[in-house]
Amino acid sequence: DKYFNNCLMTKIGVPIPKTAILPSNELPPDTSAESFSNLTYPLDWDAIFNYTGFPAYMKPFAGGGWKSVYKLTSPEDFFEKHKETEQLVMMLQEEIQFTEYYRCYCIGGKYVRIMSYEPRNPHHLRYVADFKPSQERLQQMTEIVLKINAYLGYDFNTVELAVRDNVPYAIDFCNPAPDAEKASVGDENFEWVVETAANYAIEKALSSKDGADNLTWGEYIKRSSHKMSLT
């Protein structure tokens, strides 16, 4: 649930784009207008559009692979494209007009690899980017990636960060089964993922204890179950 995870990031101080969740354009099966009586109609579209601004991106609240992702330039463009989404629950998200962009692997909640990434390139050329982060930027992004994964509890994840006005915004960070194909990520990144994942799997196997809870629990789950503050 990308929207839930976005809300979680606002609670723990990770910068994200302004985001609104939208009801599906068409009613889901076995529902009627009465099924959604908890929602206020008509929606205040002007308030939503003023909040996110344009250009904006519309994407499903769950899923990946750039499927059903739209770049929108105006309210008219939104209403036209929203019809195409049928029963999908979508998010409308502010566009971060970035000067640098990075895709970051995180394995085991502690091993991080930060890769320059250009999402505007064709798929096979997205890792052909020449952003050169300073050591301070690398440290800043590493801390953000580790914080996100500590709260989500993912053993394997990618986090995409778009830098605007020297602030890294978390754009996409719900990828527990991310792309790691050699053809797209390149030889060096592929080798890092394979080596690091293998070493972490061995590490977990050696530390596993019979009869114990050997699962990875995120800080959100751990703190919520004990009725503790998130921060």
The pLDDT-based confidence of 33 (bands split at 50, 70, 90) is confident
In a domain, 1, yes or no: no
Is 116 found in the same domain as 55? no
For residues 123-144, give the mean pLDDT.
93
The pLDDT-based confidence of 124 (bands split at 50, 70, 90) is confident
pLDDT tens column, 88-105: 999 999 999 999 999 999
In a domain, 225, yes or no: no
Provide the H-helix boundaries in the chain.
2-12, 45-52, 75-82, 135-152, 182-185, 187-207, 219-225
At 130 the pLDDT is 85
Is 128 found in the same domain as 39? no
At 64 the pLDDT is 76
- Which residue segment(s) compose the domain that 178 sits in? 100-207
Choosing from 94, 122, 149, the residue where a domain stops is 94
Is 136 found in the same domain as 85? no
Is 73 found in the same domain as 45? yes
Give the predicted TM-score (pTM) of the model: 0.92
For residues 43-53, give the mean pLDDT.
97
- Three-state DSSP state, 207: helix
Among 23-27, 33-37, 175-179, the range scoring the smallest mean pLDDT is 33-37
Instruction: Note whether 208 and 198 are within 8 A (CB).
Output: no
**CATH number for the domain including 124?**
3.30.470.20
In a domain, 114, yes or no: yes
- Verify cis geometry, omega within 30 degrees of 0, for the bond prior to 60: no
- Three-state DSSP state, 131: coil
In a domain, 46, yes or no: yes
Asked whether residue 204 carries a pLDDT value surpassing 80, the answer given is yes
pLDDT tens column, 65-85: 778 999 999 999 999 999 999
**CATH number for the domain including 89?**
3.30.1490.20
Choosing from 70, 94, 118, the residue where a domain stops is 94
At 41 the pLDDT is 82
The pLDDT-based confidence of 40 (bands split at 50, 70, 90) is confident
In a domain, 62, yes or no: yes
Asked whether residue 222 carries a pLDDT value surpassing 90, the answer given is yes
Q: What is the mean pLDDT of the chain?
A: 95
Instruction: Note whether 90 and 82 are within 8 A (CB).
Output: yes
Is 179 found in the same domain as 86? no
At 9 the pLDDT is 98
Is 158 found in the same domain as 59? no
Task: Determine what percent of the chain is predicted with pLDDT higher than 90.
Answer: 86
- Three-state DSSP state, 198: helix
Asked whether residue 231 carries a pLDDT value surpassing 90, the answer given is no
Provide the H-helix boundaries in 34-162.
45-52, 75-82, 135-152
